[in-house]
Structure 1
Amino acid sequence: MIAMLALAVVASVFSLVIPRVIQAVIDGPVVEGDTSGLWLLTAIIGALGLGEAFLVWLRRYIQAKVALGVEADLRRDIYRHVQRLHAGFHDRFQTGQLLSRATGDLGRIRRFAAWGMIFLVINIFTYLAVIAQLVQIYWPLGLVVAASAVPLFFLSRNFARGYITASRAEQDQQGEVANLAEETAQGIRVIKAFGRARHVTEKFDGGSAKLYDISINKVRMLSRSWAMFDAIPNLVLAAVLIGGALAVANDKMTIGELVAFVTLQLMLVWPIEALGWIIANGNEAMTAADRVYDVLDTEPAIVDRPGARDLPRAEAKGHLRFEGVRFAYDGTDKTVLDGLDLDVRPGETLAVAGVTGCGKTTMLSLAPRLYDVTAGRVLLDGHDVRDLTLESLRLNVATAFEDPTLFSMSVRENLTLGRQEATEADIEEALRVAQADFVYDLPWGLDTRIGEQGLSLSGGQRQRLALARAVIVKPAVLILDDPLSALDVHTEELVERALASVLAGTTALVAVHRPSTVALADRVALLEDGRIVAVGTHSELLESTPAYRAVLSAESDSVGAAA
């Protein structure tokens, strides 16, 4: 920044010297008819011009390089920070708003840092230096030009007050429009299936129209202010020409001084006209920075505790305990889990059954600390999971979700997301367990890019790849949130047989959303009203617990209805 300002000041000095050299040319060789010194003065003007051009080029190159570097650093910081924020933040923060902050808002900050801030400093320096020279050349007219700063000050202040509000409104609405576009792109199949293209188009048009109205209001403010910023220096120039002509006629100024005076004053026209752009650019950058810091100032709720220790995979046994666990989502008063106790022995597969919405998925999310308990604790091999580093915890606890998320990358990259050092043998075994051998029939096999969200695959294929991705980690604890719901009966049976061999040496916690999944479990826990009300084998619970029979019956009916 210091180097850029130094270059800018020196370049401005060069440009400020040129009018005084022109004055010397007119009052010397031109008026006196002596051309002997003309070539030297002309060479000085040429050298100053070339020097200024070189310094401007060098400054702008450095400006652009530094500003792009700052933008890249900020974008990297935002991305890393977003990765650290807990799942609850992402539950409530719209994706489109995040995208808007990481793209458009950073661009506004970069433009002001690269150009607006530098031009503001240069223009202030130029204005003061020119005014000083104008007063030195002919102080009455110099004071007239200086007095023009008063209306400019009030105009700038009023413009800035209104523009910052309009700028924030526009940026927020741009985020809303981006969110509408992002949701439409992700849900395009649902929109087409329900024939709701016209509805979502009208909704998008409404958001776009609102953005248009806000932007037009902002442009209207800009045009009014820029017109005034343009009119004031030109009106002052007209007064200077009249006053200067009279001063020359009365021998109070020379022709060379008048030319130098006008030339210097003309150097103020662009800085004053640019003042509106600089103020607008600065306000946009200010509101953009506020929006960016809305994200950066959000403290991650789930982080490593001071003194958190690693739990090496070789030492992990997979003993999982829930002790007096209570949980409520951020911003809600509803308690999802209320004093839940459960002991999952090492190497055991335990299924969690319960009616839809009873908190099975929430409970399973506590083990890898996607959320933290409100009260109580979750233990892994006797360690509170909050006392373990997140990296080692999530290497020991892998999860396969009911709604699988795949990324726009190759099949191999998706599979090895949790274990990048996995060998070909590991990949083959995981694909066999998940009955996902179909990947070898894709155009480029494991190197085939599967597209955003994996929408080029069927629901069952996505689930099987997500299951293989969890299996390949070879964790101490495997969390399965009904990862077989999209499979047909035949494939489900094959997957369950293969999973049985994998789960023999792994602790598994399985959310049961369909009766057939119970076959994977050694024991079953019934979740009701936020607590575990019964634990036993499938046969024991069928015989002794009516609520369990009711849950399985309801799930069976829902599966049959879906079929």
Structure 2
Amino acid sequence: MAEPTETRSPVRYLSWLGLQQLPSLAGGVLFGSLWLLAQALMPYVLGLAIDYGVNGKDWNVLLLCALAMLVLGALQAVFAVLRHRIAVSNWMQASFRSVQLIGHKISRTGAALPRAISTGELVNTAASDATRIGQIYDLTARLSGALLSYLLVSVLIWQISWGLGLTVLVGVPVCCALLLFIIRPLQARQREQREMSGKMTAVGADTVAGLRVLRGIGGEHIFVARYRERSQDTRFSGNKVARSVATLEGTQLLVTGGFSVFFTWLGAAMALRGEISIGQLISLYGFSVFLVTPVRILSEMVSAAIRGYVGARKTIAVLATPPAFTDQGSASAPAGPAELKDSASGAVVHPGRLTAVVSADPAASAELAERLARFDDSVLTEQPVFWGGVDTRQIGLEALRERIVFSEADPQLFSGPLRELLDPAQRNSDQQIFRALENASAMDILDGLEEGLDHHVTERGRGFSGGQRQRLALSRALLTEAETLLLVEPTSAVDAHTEARIAASFQSARAGKSTLLVTASPLMLGQVDEVLLMIEGKISARGTHRELLQIPEYRAVVIRGE
């Protein structure tokens, strides 16, 4: 998928997006133009039929004109279908390309994106703004046809009367200009409504994400009240937009209707003076009715362009967010298992050893694991992490992610078959998956599922308890067979008996491989080769669990964790 090269402004992004689907846009312009040109010719042919066929009593001309109108009608039907199909394709291409770009950006940006843009704003951008952007490319086919048909009608009217032709050439742009007085406040109100909608979605996303905690402390009513307040603000701003849209639609009808009446009155006056024929008068009336269509299409296009511009501005805000890490390293990864060292804290993960980090500040020890996994290059600028003596920022991400795997305290489980969730790369047999589940004391979860590994996991694993999700995530981490595995509180949500079984099998499960555990559990600490005590972000002591129990600061943390 092509990366957007123009994220400096909404107009540049929309132009780049259009260039990505240029062939289909050209097809839409072609069929949209032919569709409206066929409509524009209908009044002209009808006027010829009346003047030369009916009044002239020439039945051959009348028959020829009737056939011409039949052909024009058939062409309108064919071109309308083709135009609509391509227009919808253009809409979907632009919308889904924007969604793909946003999804790709989310997966590649890391921790920098949530810090810059809220979850609700991201959801709104992908779900709503992308659709609004696509609508611009839907209307391009009709807009091009409207402009060409307007010019054709002006030429045909000029042939009847240069004065009326001049009236059309000047009058239609004036009608469109009058609508600008309403469009400008509409743009401001749509921007306001979009901001309100983003805030409402953000509150809703936060509430859903923390619903279990909120119910536990009895605080859900506070967030419900906040959501209700945001919802009302969004509704009121939406009402303002609706009033502007209604005013625009009404003014459009008033202006175009007034112009049509004025234009027809001029033609009727000329017919009474004998300056034009009856057939020409009927053609002029048909042209006046038809000219409402280009003005309406232009009005729709302007309205869609405003919404698309606002959506594009939100989209490029996401796409322009600098990533937390880059993949420009040229150094080679260590040929084999190597020491992983954090210069900020002094922590060292030795090859083939099971290491644990204990801290009175759980956030500090979790940040250590995140630094070792290289999720944010900005924190490594002054105090880098070295892998085999090489700065991890100089190593390609593919090699780094393949050999150093990080599993967070709150695991993310995606919807789909359980087998794919546990083994996304599909590199392990069912027996290997069973072994990993056994090492994570998670076989009871599998036994409770009728479909076994084919069980469909719901979004974020909501069908499982917190402890079950944690054990499934641990099984997934073990199945990676990573050279270095970084685990943050892998057993914090399980009971003591389950944790004891996990601790008993952990040494054998990770034999010969490097593992860093961020935990304060005595059961897990008793099984590791080395424990690192972190105080105020620095490693202050090393040793076994039994040796470090002599240190008061260490004992206070692990006894509290029992």
Q: Tell me, yes or no, whether TM beats 0.5.
A: yes
Structure-2 residue corresponding to 1:89:
113
Deviations 1:286-307 (A, max 9, x none): 1111111111222323122242
Q: Does the 8 Å CA contact 1:130/1:265 hold for their aligned counterparts? A: no
Q: Does the 8 Å CA contact 2:412/2:460 hold for their aligned counterparts? A: yes
Q: Does the 8 Å CA contact 1:316/1:396 hold for their aligned counterparts? A: no
Helix, strand or coil: the match of 2:426? coil
Helix, strand or coil: the match of 1:487? coil
Q: Does the 8 Å CA contact 1:358/1:530 hold for their aligned counterparts? A: no
Matched, 1:435 2:435: no
Which one of the candidate residues 415, 426, 431 is aligned to 1:420? 426
Q: CA deviation at 1:318?
A: 4.0
Q: CA deviation at 1:469?
A: 1.1
Q: Does the 8 Å CA contact 1:408/1:450 hold for their aligned counterparts? A: yes
Distance change in 2, residues 1:27/1:195 (3 Å): same
State the one-letter code of the partner of 1:135: W
Matched, 1:101 2:125: yes
Which one of the candidate residues 504, 507, 512 is aligned to 1:505? 512
Q: Does the 8 Å CA contact 2:264/2:288 hold for their aligned counterparts? A: no
Deviations 1:438-481 (A, max 9, x none): 11332211222232222322222222111111111111112121
Which one of the candidate residues 518, 521, 527 is aligned to 1:520? 527
Helix, strand or coil: the match of 2:95? helix
Q: Does the 8 Å CA contact 2:341/2:385 hold for their aligned counterparts? A: yes
Which one of the candidate residues 318, 343, 346 is aligned to 2:348? 343
Q: CA deviation at 1:184?
A: 3.4
Structure-2 residue corresponding to 1:553:
556
Q: Provide the rounded CA distance (Å) in 1 between the counterparts of 2:274 and 2:363.
A: 96
Residues 220-369 of structure 1 aligned to structure 2 (within 5 Å): 220-309=243-332, 315-323=335-343, 325=344, 340-357=345-362, 359-369=364-374
Q: Provide the rounded CA distance (Å) in 2 between the counterparts of 1:113 and 1:426.
A: 50
Which one of the candidate residues 434, 452, 456 is aligned to 2:463? 456
Matched, 1:136 2:159: yes
Q: Any stretches of 5+ residues in structure 2 without a counterpart?
A: 1-24
State the Cα RMSD in Å.
Answer: 2.2
Q: Does the 8 Å CA contact 1:318/1:476 hold for their aligned counterparts? A: no
Structure-1 residue corresponding to 2:7:
none
Structure-1 residue corresponding to 2:57:
33
Distance change in 2, residues 1:161/1:551 (3 Å): farther
Structure-1 residue corresponding to 2:20:
none
Helix, strand or coil: the match of 1:44? helix
Q: Percent identity?
A: 26
Matched, 1:77 2:101: yes
Structure-2 residue corresponding to 1:328:
none
Distance change in 2, residues 1:306/1:386 (3 Å): closer
TM (normalized to structure 2)?
0.89
Distance change in 2, residues 1:68/1:436 (3 Å): same
Q: CA deviation at 1:534?
A: 2.3
Q: CA deviation at 1:176?
A: 2.6
Q: CA deviation at 1:541?
A: 3.3
Q: Provide the rounded CA distance (Å) in 1 between the counterparts of 2:124 and 2:113.
A: 17
Helix, strand or coil: the match of 1:533? strand
Q: Any stretches of 5+ residues in structure 1 without a counterpart?
A: 326-339
Deviations 1:81-122 (A, max 9, x none): 21111223234532222121112111111122112x222222
Stretches of 4+ aligned residues off by more than 6 angstroms:
none
Q: Provide the rounded CA distance (Å) in 2 between the counterparts of 1:19 and 1:425.
A: 77
Q: CA deviation at 1:512?
A: 2.6
Deviates more, 1:478-487 or 1:192-201: 192-201
Q: Does the 8 Å CA contact 2:366/2:518 hold for their aligned counterparts? A: yes
Matched, 1:12 2:19: no
Q: Provide the rounded CA distance (Å) in 1 between the counterparts of 2:45 and 2:174.
A: 32
Q: Provide the rounded CA distance (Å) in 1 between the counterparts of 2:183 and 2:208.
A: 37
Deviates more, 1:209-218 or 1:480-489: 480-489
Distance change in 2, residues 1:382/1:131 (3 Å): same
State the one-letter code of the partner of 2:496: V
Q: Provide the rounded CA distance (Å) in 2 between the counterparts of 1:54 and 1:475.
A: 59
Helix, strand or coil: the match of 1:257? helix
Helix, strand or coil: the match of 1:148? helix
Q: Does the 8 Å CA contact 1:181/1:204 hold for their aligned counterparts? A: yes
Q: Does the 8 Å CA contact 2:340/2:385 hold for their aligned counterparts? A: yes
State the one-letter code of the partner of 2:64: L
Which one of the candidate residues 385, 400, 410 is aligned to 1:403? 410
State the one-letter code of the partner of 1:232: V
Q: Provide the rounded CA distance (Å) in 1 between the counterparts of 2:541 and 2:534.
A: 8
Q: Does the 8 Å CA contact 1:109/1:285 hold for their aligned counterparts? A: yes
Distance change in 2, residues 1:32/1:291 (3 Å): same
